[in-house]
Amino acid sequence: MMAIPNRWLVLAAMTGSLSMVLLDQTVVSVALPTIASDLHLGPTQQQWIINAYLLTLSALVALCSRLGDKFGGVTLFRLGVIVFFLGSAGCGLAPDTDMGGAWIIGFRLVQGAGAAMMMPVSAAIVLSVFDKSESGRAMAIYGGIGQLFLALGPLVGGFLTEYVSWRAVFWLNIPVGAVVLFLVFVAKPPDRQAPDTYVSLRNAAFLVFGIATTVFALQQGAHWGWLSASTLIAIAAGLASCAAFAVLSLRVRRPLVNLRLLGDIGFASDLFIAFFVRFSLLSVSLYFAMYLQDVLGLPASRAGLLMLPMVVPQIIGSQVSGWTYDRLGVRTPTLTGLALCICGLAWWSFALTTRQYHLLIPAMILSGFAFGLTLSAPGTDALAREPGELRNQASGMLLTFRQVGGALGVAIIGAIILHLSPQATRAPDPQTSADAISAGFAALAVVAVVVAILSFLLLPRTGGRTGSQLP
């Protein structure tokens, strides 16, 4: 494959889009207490501001990946930027009236839909414009900068909220989106289309309905009651729809998501770990940011700054993970990361109840480094295990598992916190909120133990393949 002359402009555009998508998963967490105060939101609505975005992103990413193949990745990418642009503008214009909560949640759904259009095709566009001798470096830049913005989200959100406005957290996407569209217009990357690509709308509907309904039920369970008819019916309907999707996917030759890839136990293990990491990372980022402001009473900018002891080790851990994977395979960085994750989350659970920030620093360093280790290696290994013709499908599954993990993490850990403290982080007695968040983090530590045991048993003991060995 020949490289195109403007490939570095294309890389800049795709990296900018990924940075927007990942930034919006964490940047809102620090702004959330201020948003809740201005728009008069309850605890459940606060969670929906985060999860509405993750919900549409996780439910639509597999469908959008296939639509990109059919109608052209660049075409879908441009549409995604515009949709994301409109969703961001709508969030920033939310009125401070009774309808403000529904308004911003609705536009967060729009943002998530735009992100789902951009995310699965942007990596394929990067690979389409670089030849093999440069593709590894290009993808390292693309993924590395994107993960950097994911980690820096709380810091950016804190400073914008305090010194500009919480609305600037969303409006920031508008100039970035405009620059991205301009770069794509100038660079003119090839827009390859495959009109004969089969897209089963029935199967897509089962997947979207199943994920959306299950997450919705888990999110609302604390409000409806876990044994109420509404909760049980919604969970049953969501799981039944997911089961129908799985059955149909295994029966057709060209499924929306190739579940047959899960027959490779190594690939399945990688996706399982990726699910857990996003499940934990987004929950920790959200509820710790709220803890710093609502329980410890810190301003938004300082809260974002005080999350750096988790952010910096995460960036370092990601680089160490890549280096270790190339030399020792996936087991060493992943199992080390999971062990550190257990220690960090357990320490965090203890320290949160003390309401002493300095006692939280060791937990932040351990957990941040652990998340970095376990975020990078399984994702690299998942793609390295599949031949070239299946790698796009593997990438789509990896994205879906990660986003569903994030959405379920926010919903389930939020449900635990709301069960113990109905006002979440704004209980009249701050200790009540601290104890509830501590219980949520303890639950994450227990899940980490289970994931570590299963990973030890299931991860392959052979070395992983490096980028130069990929077909």
Per residue in 343-387, pLDDT tens? Answer: 999 999 999 999 999 999 999 999 999 998 888 788 878 877 777
Percent of the chain with pLDDT over 90: 36
Comparing 33 with 390, the larger pLDDT belongs to 33
Lowest mean pLDDT among 144-158, 270-284, 344-358: 144-158
- Classify residue 75: in a domain, yes or no: yes
- Classify residue 381: in a domain, yes or no: yes
- Classify residue 64: in a domain, yes or no: yes
What CATH number should be reported for the domain holding residue 342? 1.20.1250.20
DSSP 251-303: HSSS-SS-GGGGGSHHHHHHHHHHHHHHHHHHHHHHHHHHIIIIIS---HHHH
Averaged over 137-144, what is the pLDDT? Answer: 76
Enclosing domain of residue 179: 1-189
In this predicted structure, what is the pLDDT of residue 218? Answer: 84
Examine the pLDDT at 262 and tell me if it is beyond 80.
yes
In this predicted structure, what is the pLDDT of residue 240? Answer: 96
Question: Confidence band (pLDDT; 50, 70, 90) for 464?
Answer: very low
Last residue of a domain, one of 189, 212, 232: 189
pLDDT digits (tens, 9 = 90+) for 224-253: 888 899 999 999 999 999 999 999 888 877
Residues 219 and 273 grouped into a single domain: no
Counted domains in the chain: 3
Report the distance separating Cα 386 and Cα 364, nearest Å: 34
Report the distance separating Cα 471 and Cα 469, nearest Å: 6
Residues 306 and 207 grouped into a single domain: no
In this predicted structure, what is the pLDDT of residue 142? Answer: 81
Last residue of a domain, one of 189, 221, 246: 189
- Classify residue 342: in a domain, yes or no: yes
Last residue of a domain, one of 159, 189, 219: 189
Residues 275 and 246 grouped into a single domain: no
Residues 228 and 364 grouped into a single domain: no
Comparing 222 with 224, the larger pLDDT belongs to 224
Residues 377 and 426 grouped into a single domain: yes
Report the distance separating Cα 254 and Cα 258, nearest Å: 8
Averaged over 97-126, what is the pLDDT? Answer: 90
Residues 48 and 156 grouped into a single domain: yes
Residues 105 and 242 grouped into a single domain: no
Question: Confidence band (pLDDT; 50, 70, 90) for 254?
Answer: confident
pLDDT digits (tens, 9 = 90+) for 408-441: 998 899 889 988 888 778 888 999 999 999 999 9
Residues 25 and 51 grouped into a single domain: yes
Examine the pLDDT at 214 and tell me if it is beyond 50.
yes
With beta carbons less than 8 A apart as the criterion, state whether 388 and 470 touch.
Answer: yes
Residues 284 and 390 grouped into a single domain: yes
Q: Calculate the average pLDDT of the chain.
A: 86
CA-based nearest residue to 15, from 117, 125, 114:
125
What is the reported pTM?
A: 0.83
- Helices (H), ranges, 130-228: 132-163, 168-171, 173-187, 201-224
Residues 177 and 210 grouped into a single domain: no
CA distances to 22, 30, 288, 454 from 33, in Å: 20, 7, 12, 37
Averaged over 96-104, what is the pLDDT? Answer: 91
- Classify residue 177: in a domain, yes or no: yes
- Classify residue 195: in a domain, yes or no: no
In this predicted structure, what is the pLDDT of residue 389? Answer: 61
Residues 207 and 159 grouped into a single domain: no
- Classify residue 194: in a domain, yes or no: no
Question: Confidence band (pLDDT; 50, 70, 90) for 388?
Answer: low
Percent of the chain with pLDDT over 70: 95
In this predicted structure, what is the pLDDT of residue 470? Answer: 36
Say how far residue 51 (Cα) sits from the centre of its chain: 10
- Classify residue 76: in a domain, yes or no: yes
Residues 161 and 208 grouped into a single domain: no
